[in-house]
Amino acid sequence: MTDNPTGKELAQSPGADNGELAATTTEQAVRPGAWPKADVAHHLRRTDTDPRAQARAVRQVSIMFILSVVMVILFIVAFIAIPRDEVITLPFVGAIGALNAAMGLTFGLAIFLIGAGAVHWAKKLMSDVEVVQERHPMKTDAEDTAVAADIYEVGKESSGFAKYPMIRRTMLAAMALVPIPFIVSLRDLWLTPPGVTTPSEELLTTLWRPGMRLVTDITYQPVKADEIPVGGLVNVVPADLPLVEEEDQNLNARAKAAAIVVRMTPEEIQSQQGEGWDYQGILAFSKICTHVGCPISLYQQRTHELLCPCHQSTFNLADSANVVFGPAARRMPQLPITVDDEGYLVAVSDFKEPVGPSFWELKESYS
Ligand code: FES
């Protein structure tokens, strides 16, 4: 229904029943629920005066709502039809999961089209007559104003906000600058120039390298292969981790290189991530969960399952550490190992795939 301050009868609304008019007269608008009209010149829209424009706007709004329905159907189709591991490459964004992209696009468009349809409906077809909304006096009475002012003064004096200008100024400076880290950290969303190590590239390598001994976590003792019993688990790190941590003064290297070693009989191993990556049934895996990065060392030796305590992702270490339960999207990376001349466990190479939680630049072959 459209108000018409001219008082003239206007065109019939498309789809309206038996002569119901698209616009009301000035008299009809003066109803208990209606605000009084403002005494200003009102400009009619084309949809107020042209039945064809009005019908076109009705169609446009309806099409947007129908397209929203179509997007929801496409969302469901995409969810069923697109494999979870399918990856597409988009300009500026790079490789992303096709399923996530399709679901985000269709659902985003479904919401957008409802909003756009509602806005178009409001602008073209709903009443746009200028009205007056009377306001009640908003001013607080003098007594309450004085009390509020006094509360402010008492607070100001007791906090010393006015008394210590240095504190006041430094606090204001600190508060003004504190959002900057959030802005600066957005840098990681940008593509990095060639030759500069990106955050994702840093996640692709760890301290492990050929011949590096596996040493026990915390005590840093080299691990002898024949000292690990079948069913046993040892937390290990690279032998040069203490030196690196001392040099870096942080735990970043540990967060990537931490690993576990388990032993089972060679016959129990169903599959590995690379041929001969075990040593006589001793297998080494990253300790960092591929879901969101909790360290894992809960091991059920009878089932060979590694259980993450954070969200219960479970990996079968006898079968390439594949995910058998939980939210993790990919297996735990395996570290190829052997022994040196003295029988101590050493790495054959670094991990062949990134450790830790998946990240959006992860190559298709790792996901
Ligand atoms: S961090 Fe391991 S399941 Fe979530």
The CATH number of the domain covering residues in 202-366: 2.102.10.10
β-bridge partners, 238: 214
Q: Which atom of ligand 1 is nearest to the CA of 357?
A: 1
Read off the tokens for 253: 């290297």
pLDDT at 53: 95
What gap in Å lies between CA 319 and CA 278, rounded to an integer?
12
pLDDT at 363: 66
Q: Is 327 in the pocket of ligand 1 (CB under 6 A)?
A: yes
What gap in Å lies between CA 222 and CA 346, rounded to an integer?
9
Instruction: Please work out, in degrees rounded to the nearest 5, the angle formed at the alpha carbon of residue 288 by the alpha carbons of 286 and 292.
Output: 145
Q: Which atom of ligand 1 is nearest to the CA of 296?
A: 2
pLDDT at 1: 39
Name the residue at shortest CA distance from atom 4 of ligand 1. Answer: 311
* Ligand 1 centroid, distance to 275 Cα (angstroms): 27
Q: Which atom of ligand 1 is nearest to the CA of 328?
A: 3
Q: Does pTM surpass 0.85?
A: no
pLDDT at 25: 42
Q: Is 67 in the pocket of ligand 1 (CB under 6 A)?
A: no
100 three-class SS: helix
* Helices 51-81, 98-124: crossing angle, 10 deg rounding: 160
* Ligand 1 centroid, distance to 122 Cα (angstroms): 47
Q: Which sequence spans correspond to the domains of the chain?
A: 2-188, 202-366
* Ligand 1 centroid, distance to 356 Cα (angstroms): 10
* Ligand 1 centroid, distance to 132 Cα (angstroms): 58
Helix ranges (H only) for 197-292 are 199-202, 241-248, 252-257
Read off the tokens for 37: 């009209």
Write out residues in the chain with pLDDT < 70, as ranges. 1-30, 187-200, 360-367
Q: Which atom of ligand 1 is nearest to the CA of 308?
A: 2
pLDDT at 218: 85
pLDDT at 259: 96
Q: Is 307 in the pocket of ligand 1 (CB under 6 A)?
A: no
Q: Which atom of ligand 1 is nearest to the CA of 289?
A: 2
pLDDT at 188: 64
pLDDT at 215: 96
pLDDT at 161: 87
